[in-house]
Amino acid sequence: MTTTLTDRFKQITTFIFDVDGVLTDGTVNALASGEMYRTFYIRDGYGIEQAIKAGYRVAVVSAGNQDGVRKRLAFLGIKDVFMGGPTDQKVNAYLGYLNRDSIPENQVLYMGDDLPDHAILSRQALLSTCPADAADEIQAVCDYISPVVGGRGAVRDVIEQVMKAQGNWATWL
């Protein structure tokens, strides 16, 4: 029996996202003060809020560690934020989160865009996803490549795909 992508979407209970290149377009704006800020897409934020409201777990795993990013994630209601570790250790934060909360890996959708995400995205049990503008090496290992670029709706796309497959998207319409 072949498992379709829709069948995989139906199994998801947990979304885990990278920040730079996924929740943002990967641009870092550096001010004279030394502050570096990112720009987030409001529709991605709305999708995250809807997922949390519907009872999905949402987490972030990122090597970056900026206060502004942390504040944005907190504003969206994301409680599980793993930031600031070495890029080659992202997989440890990911596995630690799954272990801590006893999350079955086949219920996880992870979205990443660049080589530091490869160790996670190449794991067979999870649903690996990436934005349309992800690195070639990342696209090669992903189960689903969003038609949307990072920081401009790719996160919203995967959340909608999952919630629609499960009958949970825009149920009030």
Q: Kindly list the distances between the CA atom of residue 157 and the CA atoms of 35, 44, 129, 147, in Å, as whole numbers in the listed order.
A: 30, 8, 11, 8
- Based on the number of CB atoms within 10 Å of its own CB, is 127 exposed (0-12), middle (13-18) or buried (19 or more)? buried
Q: Look up tokens 């529709």; give the residue.
A: 43
Calpha distance 81→90 (Å, rounded): 12
C-alpha distances out from residue 154 to 31, 70, 101, 104, 158, Å? 27, 20, 26, 24, 7
Give the Cα separation of 48 and 30 in Å (integer).
27
Q: Is 113 annotated as a binding residue?
A: yes
Is the C-alpha dihedral spanning 123, 19, 130, 59 positive or negative?
positive
Angle at 77 between CA 74 and CA 81, to 5 degrees: 55
- Residue 67 annotated as part of some ligand binding site: no
7 labelled as ligand-binding?
Answer: no
Annotation: binding site for substrate: 20
Annotation: binding site: 18, 20, 113
Annotation: binding site for Mg(2+): 18, 113
